[in-house]
Amino acid sequence: MNLAIRHSWPSLPRRGFTLVEMLAAMAVLTILILMVTSLMRGASATIANSTDHLNADDQARMVLDRMQIDFARMLKRNDVYFQFTRDGQTGNDQFSFFSETPGFTAAGSAAAAQSNLSLVSYQFNSSYQLERLGQGYQWTDMTFSPTNAPVTQEADLHILSTSVFRMEVAFLMRQDDTHFIITSTAPTPGSQAFQNLWAVMVAIAVLDPNSQKLVNASSYSSLVAALPEFSGTQTIPLSSSSAPDAAQMDPILSVWHAALNSSDFAHTAGIPQQAAQQVRIYQRIFYLQ
């Protein structure tokens, strides 16, 4: 006779999570979500800033490359008109000269549809947008008089950039066999000083489209004034054994960097701090000799 032996095992108690455990898990989950959100927000801000900087770089490169073409073909003659001056309305520098680049001609004009030179001009409109003029000419249309300013039409100006809001010009000139000078004084058309003009230095300031949304239209005049104009003369000795410092070789950028790095730049410019941090400055030297 087989006897079945049954073992009686004690039953394990059935239990769930306590309220304290649930609250602790929720707290940990909330902290993790906040950390991930913070990382994502920081990454998004970094990407947005990088995109804004790339947009500013692209605008500056496009403008300076266009100037490079025009200056490379500039008519370097004492008997031909050119002008570098300051615009009293915007406070920016502006310039115009003849260049052997094709320009636009009015329909029905005596000039050929395809010109072989043009009157080039860079200036700002009342909205602080950089405009370029490329008014077509032929050699037979030229008036060889350095003081005879050509007639231009406002309608012939075309917006080159809506991001460039500031432009300053300086001149690298050969003083003698041992010295160059960087000066804010433009050579006079028809003068011997024009033959000593070695290069034109152009500095521009750019604000990307996203940062422009933070700036009121009425604030651009104070923003331009917050980047001071270069004035005076810097002497560069050629025979010196020591290299010139940055303040000598880049007088415009030195002044502008000092303004941008000041703690009250945003207040002086009359713009939000977030926009002030996005102002980018560039410079290129266009050699004429």
pLDDT tens digits, one per residue of 94-144: 999 999 988 887 544 554 456 788 999 999 999 999 999 998 888 887 888
pLDDT at 160 over 90: yes
The dihedral built from the CA positions of residue 264, 267, 272 and 278, taken in this order, carries a sign that is: negative
The residues that bridge with 182 in the sheet, in sequence order, are: 172, 234
pLDDT at 266 over 50: yes
pLDDT at 52 over 90: no
Task: Count the Cβ atoms, other than its own, within 10 Å of residue 271.
Answer: 24
For tokens 């949304």, what's the residue?
213
Ramachandran bin of 54, using left for φ above 0, alpha for ψ from -120 to 50, beta for the remaining angles: alpha
Domain boundary assignment for the chain? 43-287
Write down the pLDDT at residue 2: 54
pLDDT at 4 over 60: no
Q: Whole-angstrom Cα distance, residue 117 to residue 25?
A: 76
pLDDT tens digits, one per residue of 140-158: 878 888 888 888 877 788 9
Are 120 and 99 contacting, i.e. CB atoms less than 8 angstroms apart?
yes
Q: What CA–CA distances, in Å, run from 254 to 227, 228, 258, 283?
A: 11, 10, 6, 11
Burial class (CB in 10 A: 0-12, 13-18, 19+), 162: middle
